[in-house]
Structure 1
Amino acid sequence: MKQMRKGMFMLLLVTMMVTLLAACGSNNVSNGNAGDTKNAGADSTQTSNEAGKAPDPATLKLMLFGDKPIELDKVLTEFENRTKDTLNTKLDIEFNPFADHKQKLNLKMTAGEVVDAAFDAPWGSLNQNVSLGYYQELDKYFNNDEYPGLKKAFSEEFLNANKINGHIYSIPMTNAFYDIEVVYIRKDLREKFGMQPVQSYDDLKTYLEKVQQSEKGMIPFALKNDRGFFKMFGHEEKLTNVKMISGVSPAFNVFLSDDGKKVIGATTLGDSADKFASLPTPYNDPYYMYPQYDKAVEWNKFVQKDVLSEKDPGALFVAGKSAANEATINATAQVRQKLQAAVPGADIELFVYNSKMRNMEQGAIGTDYKAWNDIVIPVTSKNADRTMKFFDWLFSSQENHDLFENGIEGEHWTKDGDRNYKMTDKTTNYLFPGYEFTWSPTMSRINSDNDAETLKLLDYQSKPDTYYQQPLTGFVFNAEPVKTEIAKMSTISTYEPLFKNGLDKDWKGSAAKMNKELESLGLEKIRQEVINQVQAFLDNSGK
């Protein structure tokens, strides 16, 4: 059964990637009461009629995060002109800061406010909000000849991998199964310091020290308040019997027996030693899973003083105000363009801080074959059909997809062959967050302005043999039985930014204090529910 599941997911990965790889060549790759969710999507506006006329006009309310592209309105006008006789739909897109999006979305859901489509993700509140009944089931829209664009763009295998409790609750967005984490540094500064390219943490530390010594007024390393050093300094070995469970607060590491059939423990940050005592070495060390926090304290001297209020460190980097920025590889070309527009003569380089990914080793990246990001249709929407018709249109042709992902051809971008594109001097006027709304492994174009090394890494993250299947693939935590307890866990948000940014030298003591607070609010009930659900999943032949 386990081999069958593994084979199924490898087939899924190959199915998603083979078209893109064939097209791209060897080194190029693209970049609350919720009511009845099954019937909540009945449209209040017409979507088609027998005479072939355009449906009645409608405006869809959407929620995304990030900055609104400067020339979004121009692109939306172009969309409306192209579709006035078919969709006859307008989009009203609300952009919120990333740090506020999750809270604002949840407040709207709790209040029953109308939202027709919104961004969410497994690492956000997707699983929890599905459990709370906030999002509509979307099964009927996929593999449906009335929605040919969606049918073509989303294979049955991919949709099955992204189901929650046996149903489709989102449009899954991804262009690969991982976006390699990097630290952007200033190549021109590195050369000014007489350094060789950064290939290790020691090299990066030397670079940051030289910035601190020589570039007065420049932040050596700008971080984001709730992201901190992110996955820097973490373990790099394969985790085949350990899985962090998302969709629950706090996050739990679940440990399985050697044969993968039994849960032998579930721990979270700050747990007392007895919670780890029965685990095998090295997991019986309460701090083994958290090597990053000591390093974060050591490296905090390079970080901006007001990091806890920093929402956009990338803006500091491209403005020349910081010398390094932790991010992911997909935005490399755009980051370079924006930096060079602000700082003539500047250039960037990437440091892939996971050494196995840096060396492009096979089987280095664990995945559960789920999309990173999703679009959901809240149950408050009365325009579900209309909204899904828009996304059907979006994925029905390369031209439609290009318009939203890249902007107006000839103005914001130009074609470079069948699958590539090049930026123009107006590209920065339309930097649309495709990762929230449009990403597709077969339709997202390749940015030819990436340097050769970046293209190799993008190629690497697209290959099936780059990945290994994580344990508990297919498991989704149902937050409903402990939703009251989870709602009380908000104290975590006070501590976590301090740990992630290296601001608490006594993070171990603070973590224990936090854990004690959580215990009094229902932590053990949540832990037991996690264990029970994972074991039930394993007992039903899951892995």
Structure 2
Amino acid sequence: MGIRKMLAMIMVISLMMAVAVGCASNAKESGSAADPAPANTGGEPAEGTKLDPVTLKIVMPGDRPADMDLIIKEAEKRMADTLNVKLDIVFVPFSDLAQKTQVMLASGENVDLIFDAPWLHMEQMVSAGYYEPLEDLLAKYGQDAVKVRSQQMFDANKFQGQIYALPLGNTHLAGRTYVVRKDLREKYGLPPIKTYDDLIKFAYKVKENEKDVIPLLAYGQPGQKDVSWGAFRAFTEYDPQFLRSDALGQSLVLYYKNNDGKVYNLFDQMEPRIWSWIEEARKLYQDGLIHPDILALKDIDSVINSGKVAVAVYNEFGVPSSLGSAVAQNVPGAELEAVTFIKMEKGQNITNFKQANFQAIPKVSKNKERAMMFLNWTAQKENYDLLAYGIEGTHYETVGEDQYKQIGSNYSYFPYAWIWNPTMDRLNAGFDEDTLKHYEFNKNADNLTSSILTGFSFDPGPVMNEISLYNAVEDKYYNALFDGVLDPTEQWNKLKSEGEGYAKKIQVELQKQIDAFLAKK
């Protein structure tokens, strides 16, 4: 879709959402503000009771696994005599996720469960009144879904004071990793990578010696701004820590730092360190290290799977089994290793304990109770294992009580998209010792520094139109800027010229709400 058409669509959607905002307050009043707690009513039909058949339409991010239909068939078989649910699972590529899911919700398309996230448009969709408050549904039908998540998880992941979506996560701090071709590093006699400078040194060595291998790979689509090469640096840098704002989830243009409760704006004053990341990305691109077609690539995993990439950014700790096995199959002798620069020192990492992913029930759903029953069903161990890892013996093997080993690549790990929870989740038995330590370390909330904004929820309603217009502007320039594809000064000046006014209004409103929140603490 061309930029003009995309802008036009976004503006139409913005108008539709602005109208919906007027109705949002009434929608919010229909839900209870109480914390979710087990109730006496059962989350599933009584034994031997079979409900009327229902088909749940579930919208998820990413690409459909090859054996998805096998998993659905088995899940439906297990539910046949109780929940009696059929699953219509629709996958939307990450590159199209923000636009397509926004259109679905704004148009009132019938959907029963949908993935959303603060880095996507969670706050905007809540403010527009598109999502059902979940407190009552959780109390009546979601006792197991509540039990596998801590109260802290619910308390920190409310929106405008209510639970509008089920938080998905297995730690309190998201992992950020560089996936590295270990075999190539060892081929050149380089020691294990400990610093970012080591990483870049390795990339240049690959450039010199491996003509068919892309040294560096990041993401270049508008919905993937936080994993562009330069912007990814903010996840693993300290003194200060730059944290994304609650208003522009993937952007560094508005940001927090130093845990001081202030909203900073790069248009007001450019941070020298952030600018250095932008300039370095430009140099790496011009030197031929960053993938030359990075802005056109939609399926990054397939590029990594080819084995023709030396270093790629990845939003988790460790090397996922699907990538490791695919690379080894496509390039005999190839091996991936995980490199992260996130510190494992108590108090070093600031977090607001918010999860990055959520599962919501849209207002338009005609099957809200059954959708919650299904989410509750997924919180039972054998069902979680099925949907998270596939069919035992075909797609995975259990290792001990809390680990697994993936078999093949026909059903890749993706519980983060719909059922993730810290109680049921298994760790990859193939993870290296350091990765396992990172997971264990970040499951303990006491190891992290609580953000001054923990519990804060931004209401985008007053600046909904500005957010939509600003995002449309930023989508044109951000990835080209942080992936080094075009001249930094020229791109920045264009972004500032077109987006500064919108960003300032958003900043002022966000700061106003933060100040009100902090005044009540």
Place the TM-score, normalised by the shorter chain, in its bin.
Answer: 0.7 to 0.9
Q: Is the 8 A contact 1:223 1:310 kept in 2?
A: no
Shift of 1:38: 6.0
Q: CA 1:210–1:457 in structure 2 vs 1: closer, same or farther (change >3 Å)?
A: same
Q: Where in structure 2 are the equivalents of 1:64-213 lying within 5 Å?
A: 64-142=60-138, 144=139, 146-213=141-208
Amino acid at match of 1:392: N
Matched, 1:410 2:410: no
Counterpart for residue 538 of structure 1: 518
Matched, 1:371 2:346: no
Q: Is the 8 A contact 2:45 2:82 kept in 1?
A: no
Q: Where in structure 2 are the equivalents of 1:68-467 lying within 5 Å?
A: 68-142=64-138, 144=139, 146-226=141-221, 227-229=227-229, 230-232=231-233, 236-237=237-238, 239=240, 244-248=244-248, 251-254=253-256, 263=262, 266-269=263-266, 271=267, 275-276=268-269, 286-300=271-285, 301-327=288-314, 328-352=316-340, 354=341, 357=343, 360-395=344-379, 397-424=380-407, 426=408, 428-467=409-448
Does 470-479 or 87-96 show the bigger shift? 470-479
Amino acid at match of 1:267: Y
CA distance in 1, matches of 2:30, 2:518: 33
Shift of 1:288: 4.5
Amino acid at match of 1:448: A
CA distance in 2, matches of 1:491, 1:55: 48
Structure 1: any 5+ residue segments left out of the alignment? 1-31, 42-46, 277-284
After superposition, give the CA deviation of every residue in 1:361-380 in whole Å (9 maximum; x if it has no partner): 22222110111110011111
CA distance in 1, matches of 2:517, 2:493: 30
Shift of 1:124: 1.0
Q: CA 1:187–1:157 in structure 2 vs 1: closer, same or farther (change >3 Å)?
A: closer
Q: Is the 8 A contact 2:243 2:255 kept in 1?
A: yes
CA distance in 2, matches of 1:254, 1:460: 24
Q: CA 1:333–1:460 in structure 2 vs 1: closer, same or farther (change >3 Å)?
A: farther
CA distance in 2, matches of 1:525, 1:464: 34
CA distance in 2, matches of 1:147, 1:493: 38
CA distance in 2, matches of 1:416, 1:374: 28
CA distance in 1, matches of 2:150, 2:200: 45
CA distance in 2, matches of 1:101, 1:364: 33
Does 440-449 or 509-518 show the bigger shift? 509-518
> Which secondary structure state, in structure 1, belongs to the residue aligned with residue 431 of structure 2?
coil
Q: Where in structure 2 are the equivalents of 1:493-512 lying within 5 Å?
A: 493-505=475-487, 507-512=488-493
Amino acid at match of 2:264: T
Aligned residue pairs: how many? Answer: 477
Amino acid at match of 1:326: V
> Which secondary structure state, in structure 1, belongs to the residue aligned with residue 214 of structure 2?
coil
> Which secondary structure state, in structure 1, belongs to the residue aligned with residue 337 of structure 2?
strand
CA distance in 2, matches of 1:377, 1:202: 45
Q: Is the 8 A contact 2:172 2:445 kept in 1?
A: no
Matched, 1:514 2:511: no
Q: CA 1:304–1:288 in structure 2 vs 1: closer, same or farther (change >3 Å)?
A: closer
Q: CA 1:419–1:501 in structure 2 vs 1: closer, same or farther (change >3 Å)?
A: same
Q: Is the 8 A contact 1:223 1:307 kept in 2?
A: yes
> Which secondary structure state, in structure 1, belongs to the residue aligned with residue 177 of structure 2?
strand
Give the structure-1-normalised TM-score. 0.82
After superposition, give the CA deviation of every residue in 1:170-219 in whole Å (9 maximum; x if it has no partner): 01000002232121111111121122222222322222122112111221
CA distance in 1, matches of 2:352, 2:505: 26
After superposition, give the CA deviation of every residue in 1:366-413 in whole Å (9 maximum; x if it has no partner): 110111110011111111111000001111x21111110111112211
| Identical-pair percentage | 32
Q: Is the 8 A contact 2:131 2:361 kept in 1?
A: yes
After superposition, give the CA deviation of every residue in 1:119-141 in whole Å (9 maximum; x if it has no partner): 11111100111111111111112
Amino acid at match of 1:363: G
Computed over aligned residues only, the root mean square deviation of the Cα atoms, in angstroms, reads 2.6
CA distance in 1, matches of 2:336, 2:503: 44
Structure 2: any 5+ residue segments left out of the alignment? 1-16, 32-42, 222-226
Q: CA 1:286–1:508 in structure 2 vs 1: closer, same or farther (change >3 Å)?
A: farther
